[in-house]
Amino acid sequence: MSEVVVEPINEYEILLNEEDEILIAIRARLGGVNKPQIIYDGKDKVVLYRNEGQTIYLSEVPDEVRTPLANLKKLLMVEIHDDAIVREYMVPIKQVPKVPSPAV
What pLDDT is stored for residue 10 in this prediction? 76
The pLDDT tens digits of the residues spanning 6-55 come to 777 778 999 999 988 999 999 999 989 999 999 999 999 999 999 998 99
DSSP count for the chain of H helices, then E strands: 1, 8
The pLDDT tens digits of the residues spanning 53-72 come to 899 999 999 999 999 999 99
The pLDDT tens digits of the residues spanning 78-94 come to 999 999 999 999 999 99
Q: Is 97 left (phi over 0), alpha (psi -120 to 50) or beta?
A: alpha
DSSP state of 4: P
Residue 75 burial (C-beta neighbours within 10 Å; 0-12, 13-18, 19+): buried
Q: At 4, is the pLDDT very low, low, confident or very high (cuts 50, 70, 90)?
A: low
Domain boundaries, the chain: 5-95
